[in-house]
Structure 1
Amino acid sequence: METKLIKTGKFIDGKEVLAIELTNSQGTYVKIYNYGAIINKFIVVNKHGEKQDIVLGFDDIDQYTSEAYLSNYSYLGAIIGRYANRIKNGRFNIDGETYQLSQAKGGDCLHGGDIGFDKKVWDVLSTIDPSVTLQYVSPAGEEHFPGNLTVQLTFKLTDENELILDFKATTDAPTAINLTHHSYFNLAPQGGSIAGHIHRMPASNYLEQDDNYVVTGKLIPVEGTKYDFLGDKAIGQDWDIEEGYDQTFVLDKPYGEFTLASETSEAESGLKLSVYTTEPVAHFYTAKYLDVKNGKDGQDYLPYGAFCVETQHHPNGINVPKFPSTVLRPGENYKQTTIYKIEHN
Structure 2
Amino acid sequence: MNIKQEQTGIFIDGKEVISVELSNSKGTYVKIFNYGTIINKFVVTNAKGIPQDIVLGFDKFEDYLSEDYLANYPYLGAIIGRYANRVKNGQFELDEIAYQLAKNNGDDCLHGGINGFDKKIWDIVALSESPIPSVTFQYFSLDGEEGFSGDLAVQLRFDLTDNNELILTYQADTDEATPINLTHHSYFNLSVHGGNVKTHFHQMNASHWLEQDGNFVVTGKLIPVADTFHDFRKGKLIGENWNEEQGYDQTYVLDKSYGELTLASKTTEASSGLSLSIFTTEPVAHLYTAKYLDVKHGKGGKHYQPFDAFCVETQHHPNAVNIPDFPSTILRPDDIYHQTTIYKVSINEL
Indicate the TM-score class for this superposition, using the shorter chain for normalisation. Answer: over 0.9
Question: Residues of 2 paired with 1:6 and 1:244: CA distance?
Answer: 38
* Residue 123 of structure 2 is aligned to residue 97 of structure 1: no
TM-score by length of 2: 0.98
Residue 3 of structure 1 and its aligned partner are, at CA, apart by 1.1
Question: Residues of 2 paired with 1:339 and 1:254: CA distance?
Answer: 17
* Residue 112 of structure 2 is aligned to residue 112 of structure 1: yes
Amino acid paired to 1:38: I
Question: Residues of 2 paired with 1:232 and 1:138: CA distance?
Answer: 40
Residue 37 of structure 1 and its aligned partner are, at CA, apart by 0.3
* Residue 227 of structure 2 is aligned to residue 224 of structure 1: yes
Residue 331 of structure 1 and its aligned partner are, at CA, apart by 1.5
Q: Could you tell me which residue of structure 1 aligns to residue 252 of structure 2? A: 249
Alpha-carbon RMSD across the aligned residues, in angstroms, is 0.6
Question: Residues of 2 paired with 1:201 and 1:101: CA distance?
Answer: 32
Residue 4 of structure 1 and its aligned partner are, at CA, apart by 1.2
Residue 104 of structure 1 and its aligned partner are, at CA, apart by 2.0
Residue 340 of structure 1 and its aligned partner are, at CA, apart by 0.1
* Residue 333 of structure 2 is aligned to residue 340 of structure 1: no
Question: Residues of 1 paired with 2:48 and 2:257: CA distance?
Answer: 39
Residue 105 of structure 1 and its aligned partner are, at CA, apart by 3.1
Residue 224 of structure 1 and its aligned partner are, at CA, apart by 0.4
Amino acid paired to 1:157: L
Counterpart mapping for 1:43-122 below 5 A: 43-122=43-122
**1:8 alignment partner, SS class:** strand
Question: Residues of 1 paired with 2:327 and 2:259: CA distance?
Answer: 10
Deviating 4+ runs (over 6 angstroms): none
Q: Could you tell me which residue of structure 2 aligns to residue 169 of structure 1? A: 172
* Residue 300 of structure 2 is aligned to residue 300 of structure 1: no
Question: Residues of 1 paired with 2:62 and 2:187: CA distance?
Answer: 19
* Residue 20 of structure 2 is aligned to residue 20 of structure 1: yes
* Residue 207 of structure 2 is aligned to residue 196 of structure 1: no
Deviations, residues 98-138 of structure 1 (Å, cap 9, x unaligned): 10001123200000000000000000001102110000000
**1:143 alignment partner, SS class:** helix
Residue 5 of structure 1 and its aligned partner are, at CA, apart by 1.4
**1:70 alignment partner, SS class:** helix
Residue 250 of structure 1 and its aligned partner are, at CA, apart by 0.2
Amino acid paired to 2:21: E
Question: Residues of 1 paired with 2:3 and 2:332: CA distance?
Answer: 34
Instruction: Choose which of 244, 264, 267 in structure 2 pairs with 1:264.
Output: 267
Q: Could you tell me which residue of structure 1 aligns to residue 139 of structure 2? A: 136
Q: Could you tell me which residue of structure 2 aligns to residue 7 of structure 1? A: 7
Question: Residues of 1 paired with 2:342 and 2:104: CA distance?
Answer: 30
TM-score by length of 1: 0.99
Equivalenced residues, count: 345
Deviations, residues 198-251 of structure 1 (Å, cap 9, x unaligned): 000000000000000000000000000010000120000010001000000000
**1:64 alignment partner, SS class:** helix
Question: Residues of 2 paired with 1:243 and 1:104: CA distance?
Answer: 21
Q: Could you tell me which residue of structure 2 aligns to residue 207 of structure 1? A: 210
**2:63 alignment partner, SS class:** helix
Question: Residues of 1 paired with 2:49 and 2:57: CA distance?
Answer: 23
Residue 312 of structure 1 and its aligned partner are, at CA, apart by 0.1
Residue 295 of structure 1 and its aligned partner are, at CA, apart by 0.3
Question: Residues of 1 paired with 2:106 and 2:238: CA distance?
Answer: 28
Question: Residues of 1 paired with 2:113 and 2:106: CA distance?
Answer: 13
Amino acid paired to 1:292: V
Q: Could you tell me which residue of structure 2 aligns to residue 234 of structure 1? A: 237
Question: Residues of 2 paired with 1:232 and 1:47: CA distance?
Answer: 21
Deviations, residues 170-208 of structure 1 (Å, cap 9, x unaligned): 000000000000000000011000000000000000000
Residue 2 of structure 1 and its aligned partner are, at CA, apart by 1.0
Gaps of 5+ in 1: none
Gaps of 5+ in 2: none
Question: Residues of 2 paired with 1:340 and 1:205: CA distance?
Answer: 23
**1:63 alignment partner, SS class:** helix
Deviations, residues 121-167 of structure 1 (Å, cap 9, x unaligned): 00000110211000000000000100000000000000000000000
Q: Could you tell me which residue of structure 1 aligns to residue 148 of structure 2? A: 145
